Amino acid sequence: MSKKDNNYFKMFMDIAADAITAATHLKETINNYDPEKIHEQMLAMHEVEHAADNKKHQMMEKLIAEFITPIEREDIITLSWALDDVLDYMEEIYQILFMHNVKSMREEALVFGELIYQSTVALKTCFDEFEHFKRSKILPKRLIEVNAIEEKADKLYIDAVRRLHLDESDPSKVHTWSVLFLQLERTIDRIEQVADTIELVIMKNS
């Protein structure tokens, strides 16, 4: 495979690295939550998302200009948009925190933050190995890891919403946290969808 073709794999790795940066930022925000800082932190997250978005556009420009690609064009497009969505979803978490004026964290949110971080790290390893998918022994393990984290997140979401309705009597807080828990869970779902797409690409090209 030519060095030119390898650029797509490098671009995927770069955006996946941005996802880790975003997840690290999110985890730190949740673990050390300060409502007075959320606007500033939301803007910082937007900068990370914007950088990743620019990389996606660069990939699309490269795709338009080239006739031969290392994997099918539609797979590159699908993966790039899905990976970009991961950062969009994390940015939306900040928007919810800011718009709903969340004053404190529930403990389940801390667990979600850790799971999002873990899944982005596993996903980055998937993209690190993606170029060598035909012989990589690490890639299948990391794909399974992403799926396992998503299963944990599904259970956490159900338990968190159940506990919310049992413990919280303020309808406004119930609504806010229902929205927030859903967005946290959707973020991990989206990461899993990227991993599932990688798996489909592997099956098509093996």
Fold annotation for 3-204: Methane Monooxygenase Hydroxylase; Chain G, domain 1 (1.20.58)
So where are the chain's domains?
3-204
The answer to whether the beta carbons of residues 177 and 138 sit under 8 Å apart is: no
Taking the C-alpha atoms of residue 73 and residue 64, their distance in angstroms, rounded to an integer, is 9
Taking only the tens place, the pLDDT of each residue in 51-76 is: 999 999 999 999 898 888 888 899 99
Judged against a pLDDT cut of 80, whether residue 11 lies above it is answered with yes
Check residue 5 and give its pLDDT.
44
For 84-96, b/e burial (b = at least 16 CB within 10 A) is bbbbebbbbbbeb
In this structure, which long-range contacts are made by residues 128-137, counting pairs with CB atoms below 8 Å and at least 24 apart in sequence?
Answer: 128/13, 128/16, 130/9, 130/12, 130/13, 130/198, 131/1, 131/6, 131/9, 131/70, 133/198, 133/201, 133/202, 133/205, 133/206, 134/205, 134/206
CA 195-204-56 angle, to 5 degrees, is: 50
Verdict on whether the full-model pTM lies above 0.85: yes
Taking only the tens place, the pLDDT of each residue in 140-179 is: 999 999 999 999 999 999 999 999 999 999 999 999 999 9
Judged against a pLDDT cut of 80, whether residue 97 lies above it is answered with yes
Taking only the tens place, the pLDDT of each residue in 23-57 is: 999 999 999 999 999 999 999 999 999 999 999 99
